[in-house]
């Protein structure tokens, strides 16, 4: 069997195995396979003489190093990824002929890349930003890329404006500041003068912009696509990813501190949980609208600044994605993966969504400049698992060795092959939508409502979420230097909510609006994180403890917490081990110097009999910060006595109990609650 045929007929994991190289225990060679006897010294004319031009090994080594970096993505540069599998729950043949959505017993390999949008590759991961959620399905019919975000809408309605929003939100060109942030003049000037951004800006100022982890955020396809079934009937569709752990976020002060304490916080969380076997799971959901109902709603279903409210168009869960393997090499996989919304399979098609239409042009162009030429599909991570045959040839980095004379269509020398496939043979046919009209640069009147869904979003928020949005506007606009831009934003968002605009106007020193408001009273419960799943699984709990603890009780509590899926980690003064009063030993995972409360979801205070002033000070700061971020706090034994003397002991979400089983039950409930917003400092 030829190498070409072999690589096209094996699974994605087996295919990647052909490209994996483990250098351990091997002899050093050049890239041509020549074994080298020396790698410490360049070839010289004498021990102290000049390096010679003939030193081919030095030149190859340094030249490769000089070219190791490829241009980073303009957006979504900071990303991390993992492998997994997708399995549909039941056949979707009523709506689509896509084969990977037909057989509930079959699995489809996938590769998922999460990312921030604005920052460069070296930026922190917990900044306020949109998150990318791009999934590559390696189906038997070819690659399908679902290029999604963690917000269901976008800043603009037409792809021609994409360079404008990116230029505006990126660091300002005169001083290249601020990095990975929208808190500056040009972004807010863009919003004020491109009011279609109102809805997306509400999402960006919400808790959705600072997710707790990649594992706890939704994904949305944003654009409107089509399903097409085998009879040729079409349906409008939007794609959703629903996380099994629910949708949870950080608080802003915590997010800023994590950026300094651990700028790799999100990728570390994903990597460590996959390594531990805590495989992240997401359910694929679809919203489907019949073709004849295109104009049934009070919003244009092709407008990317609008969502389809789930109470109006329900989400049907059709399958599960499980991420079960980390990458072997970040550059080869995560950095070189190339997504494109135009990578579709039979049964999935496009609509006239003008943002989608622009994306269909842009993505190929981006990959050409980043990955050095037209053969980026041959990079192992991008290569489909099914055979591919066409008359494309040559170009930078070509790996396929095509045999034979013929590289054109039509031909007789090769029996007119490769030839197009019929629909019955799995050939892709575009949906035959009737299109007519004058050539015009314009936008439909149905796209001109920029505020009603922004108000819907505001109405749907809980009291705590509204408070966070107000604080986000106050922070971001507090960084804006132009008083004119500040005032424009206040006046603009008075159209969304007079309460919102008046509150942050006072914070930023702008004139409070005297008119405005909205008559929209509808809300959508699905938009509030208060209504999400609340589970304790994989939550990290800091256990603050020192020598002299109650061994039997603490061992029972820690073991019980682990059984619920909670991940306790021991924090004490020094690394090594600590001993309980009965000789029980615990391994210390962190010291107060090497970790921080913002890196944990909850705190369990045990203390012990051997406590000094330094421990009390460090523990006090640790616990108080967790408390101020509304996290669950638990305490038993000496920890309970200590906390009872402090005002924190009376707060909501604080569990104080020396009876081990009762403590575990109540503390796990508090952990599942994520944050306890009722708490007043």
- Same domain? 234 vs 345: yes
Given 378, 395, 426, the domain boundary residue is 378
How many Cβ atoms sit within 10 Å of the Cβ of residue 554?
A: 23
Q: Cα separation of 383 and 17, whole Å?
A: 13
Q: Judging by DSSP bridges, how do beta strands 585-588 and 602-607 pair with one another?
A: unpaired
pLDDT (tens digit per residue) in 272-292: 999 999 999 999 999 999 999
Domain final residue pick, 329, 347, 378: 378
Q: Which two tokens stand for residue 84?
A: 């997994």
* Amino acid 2: pLDDT: 45
Annotated catalytic, 64?
Answer: no
**Pair (32, 110) in one structural domain:** no
What is residue 50's DSSP assignment?
A: P
Token pair recorded at residue 316: 């049907």
Supply the DSSP symbol for 315.
P
DSSP state of 99: G
CATH of the domain at 34: 4.10.91.20
The enclosing domain of 551 has a CATH number of 3.40.50.880
Question: In terms of Cα–Cα distance, which of 680, 640, 642 is closest to 660?
Answer: 640
Q: How many domains does the chain have?
A: 3
CA angle 336, 84, 346 (to 5 degrees): 80
Are 137 and 12 contacting, i.e. CB atoms less than 8 angstroms apart? no
Could you say which of 31, 64, 103, 149 is catalytic? 149
Mind listing the pLDDT tens digit for each residue in 10-45?
A: 678 888 888 888 888 888 888 888 888 988 888 989
Q: Please give the Cα distance from 646 to 370 (Å, whole number).
A: 56
The set of residues, in sequence order, having a beta carbon less than 8 Å from that of 205 and lying 6+ positions away, is 128, 469, 472, 473, 476
Distance of CA 555 to the CA centre of its chain: 36
Alpha carbons within 13 angstroms on the beta-carbon side of residue 201 total: 29
**Has residue 570 been placed in a domain?**
yes
Same domain? For 38 and 86 the reply is no
Report yes or no: 208 and 269 within 8 Å, Cβ to Cβ.
no
Q: Tell me the residue range of the domain where 597 lies.
A: 534-672
DSSP-assigned letter for residue 35? B
Domain membership flag for residue 141: yes
What b-and-e string marks burial along 257-288, b requiring 16 or more CB atoms within 10 Å of the CB? Answer: bbbebbbebbbebbeebbeeebbbbbbbbbbb
Residue 99 shares a structural domain with residue 140: yes
Q: ω into residue 418 within 30 of 0, thus cis?
A: yes
Q: Report yes or no: 114 and 98 within 8 Å, Cβ to Cβ.
A: no
Give the phi and the psi of residue 540 in degrees, each rounded to 5. Answer: -90, 125
Query: Any residues with CB less than 8 A from the CB of 513 and at least 6 apart, and which?
Result: 490, 491, 494, 498, 501, 502, 505
Report the interhelical angle of 252-261 vs 463-478 (nearest 10°).
Answer: 60
Residue 389 appears among annotated catalytic residues: no
Instruction: Please work out, in degrees rounded to the nearest 5, the angle formed at the alpha carbon of residue 128 by the alpha carbons of 365 and 678.
Output: 150
88 and 55 housed in the same domain: no
Regarding whether 363 and 284 lie in a shared domain, the answer is yes
Cα gap 246→269, rounded to integer Å: 16
Q: Which of 378, 401, 420 is the last residue of a domain?
A: 378
Query: Given 76, 240, 468, 596, which residue is catalytic?
Result: 76
Q: Is 310 exposed, middle or buried (0-12, 13-18, 19+ CB in 10 A)?
A: middle
User: Of 515, 581, 517, 516, which Cα lies nearest the Cα of 545?
Assistant: 581
Residue 586 lies in a domain: yes
Question: Does the residue 139 lie in any domain?
Answer: yes
Residues 102 and 239 in one domain: yes
CB contact set of 562 (below 8 Å; sequence gap of 6+): 568
Phi/psi of residue 189, nearest 5 degrees: -65, -40
Distance of alpha carbon 376 from alpha carbon 383, whole angstroms: 9
**585: helix, strand or coil:** strand
Asked if residue 557 belongs to a domain, the reply is yes
Residues 6+ apart with CB under 8 A from 105: none
280 shares its domain with 243: yes
In a domain, residue 166? The reply is: no
First to last CA, the chain: 71
- 650 and 629, same structural domain? yes
- Answer yes or no: are the C-beta atoms of 544 and 622 closer than 8 Å: yes
pLDDT along the chain (681 residues), means of 10: 48 83 86 88 89 88 86 95 98 98 97 98 97 97 97 96 95 96 98 98 98 98 97 97 98 97 98 98 98 96 98 98 97 96 95 94 89 92 90 89 90 90 90 86 93 98 97 98 98 97 97 93 97 97 97 97 98 96 96 97 94 92 96 96 88 95 98 92 43
In a domain, 528, yes or no: no
Three-class DSSP category at 490? helix
- Let me know whether 288 and 149 are in one domain: yes
> Domain check: are 24 and 148 in the same one?
no
Query: Is residue 609, in this structure, part of any structural domain at all?
Result: yes
Which residues sit opposite 107 in a β-bridge? none
Tally the residues of the chain. Answer: 681
CATH of the domain at 340: 2.40.180.10
Across 399-432, b (16+ Cβ under 10 Å) vs e yields: ebeeeeeeeeeeeeeeeeeeeeeeeeeeeeeeee
Q: Is 586 helix (H, G, I), strand (E, B) or coil?
A: strand
Q: Residue 585 burial by CB count (10 A; 0-12/13-18/19+): exposed, middle or buried? A: exposed
| Residues 142 and 14 reside in one and the same domain | no
């Amino acid at each position: 069997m030829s190498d070409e045929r072999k690589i096209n007929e094996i699974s994605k994991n087996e295919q990647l195995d052909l490209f994996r190289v483990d250098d351990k225990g091997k002899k050093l060679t050049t890239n041509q396979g020549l074994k080298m006897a020396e790698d410490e010294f360049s070839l010289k004319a004498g021990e102290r003489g000049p390096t010679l031009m003939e030193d081919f090994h030095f030149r190859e080594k340094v030249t490769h190093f000089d070219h190791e970096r490829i241009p980073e993505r303009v957006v979504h540069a900071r990303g991390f990824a993992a492998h997994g599998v997708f399995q549909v729950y039941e056949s979707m043949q009523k709506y689509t002929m896509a084969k990977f959505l037909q057989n509930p017993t079959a699995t489809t390999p996938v590769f998922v890349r999460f990312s921030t949008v604005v920052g460069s590759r070296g930026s922190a991961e917990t900044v306020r930003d949109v998150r990318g959620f791009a999934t590559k399905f390696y189906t038997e019919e070819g690659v399908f890329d679902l290029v999604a975000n963690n917000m269901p809408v976008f800043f603009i309605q037409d792809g021609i404006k994409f360079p404008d929003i990116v230029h505006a939100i990126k660091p300002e060109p005169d001083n290249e500041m601020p990095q990975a942030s929208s808190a500056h003049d040009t972004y807010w000037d863009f919003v004020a003068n491109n009011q279609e951004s109102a809805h997306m800006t509400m999402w960006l100022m919400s808790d959705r912009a600072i997710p707790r982890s990649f594992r706890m955020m939704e994904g949305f396809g944003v654009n409107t696509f089509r399903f097409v079934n085998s009879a040729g009937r079409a349906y409008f569709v939007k794609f959703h990813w629903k996380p099994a752990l629910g949708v949870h976020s950080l608080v802003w002060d915590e997010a800023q501190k994590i950026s300094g304490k651990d700028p790799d916080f999100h990728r570390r969380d994903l990597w460590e949980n996959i390594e531990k076997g805590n495989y992240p799971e997401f359910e694929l959901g679809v919203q489907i609208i019949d073709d004849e109902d295109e104009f049934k709603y009070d919003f244009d279903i092709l407008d990317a600044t609008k969502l389809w409210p789930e109470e109006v168009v329900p989400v049907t869960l059709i399958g599960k994605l499980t991420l079960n393997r980390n990458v072997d090499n970040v550059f080869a996989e995560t950095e070189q993966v190339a997504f494109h919304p135009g990578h579709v399979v039979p049964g999935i098609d496009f609509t006239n969504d003008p943002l989608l239409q622009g994306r269909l042009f842009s993505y190929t162009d981006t990959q050409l400049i980043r990955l050095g030429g037209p053969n980026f599909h041959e990079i192992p991570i991008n290569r489909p698992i099914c055979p591919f045959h066409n008359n494309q040839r040559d170009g930078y980095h070509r790996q396929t060795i095509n045999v034979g004379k013929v590289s054109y269509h039509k031909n007789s020398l090769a029996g007119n092959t490769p030839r197009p496939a019929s629909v019955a043979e799995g050939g892709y046919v575009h949906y035959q939508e009737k299109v007519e009209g004058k050539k015009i640069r314009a936008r439909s009147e149905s796209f001109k409502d920029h505020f009603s869904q922004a108000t819907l979003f505001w109405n749907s928020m809980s009291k705590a979420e509204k408070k966070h949005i107000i604080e986000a506007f106050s922070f971001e606009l507090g960084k804006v230097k132009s008083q004119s831009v500040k005032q424009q934003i206040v006046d603009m968002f008075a159209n969304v909510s007079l309460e919102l605009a008046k509150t942050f106007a006072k914070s930023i020193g702008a004139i409070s609006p005297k008119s405005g408001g909205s008559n929209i009273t509808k809300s959508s419960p699905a938009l509030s994180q208060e209504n999400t799943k609340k589970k304790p699984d994989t939550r990290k709990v800091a256990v603050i403890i020192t020598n002299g603890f109650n061994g039997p009780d603490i061992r029972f509590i820690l073991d019980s917490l682990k059984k619920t899926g909670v991940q306790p980690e021991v924090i004490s003064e020094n690394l090594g081990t600590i001993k309980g009063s009965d000789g029980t030993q615990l391994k210390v995972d962190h010291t107060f110097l090497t970790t921080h409360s913002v890196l944990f979801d909850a705190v369990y205070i045990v203390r012990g009999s051997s406590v000094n002033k330094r421990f009390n000070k460090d523990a006090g700061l640790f616990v108080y910060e967790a408390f101020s971020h509304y996290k669950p706090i638990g305490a038993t034994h000496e920890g309970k006595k200590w906390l009872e003397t402090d005002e924190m002991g009376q707060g909501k979400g604080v569990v104080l109990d020396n009876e081990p089983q009762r403590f575990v039950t109540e503390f796990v409930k508090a952990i599942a609650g994520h944050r306890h917003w009722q708490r007043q400092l």
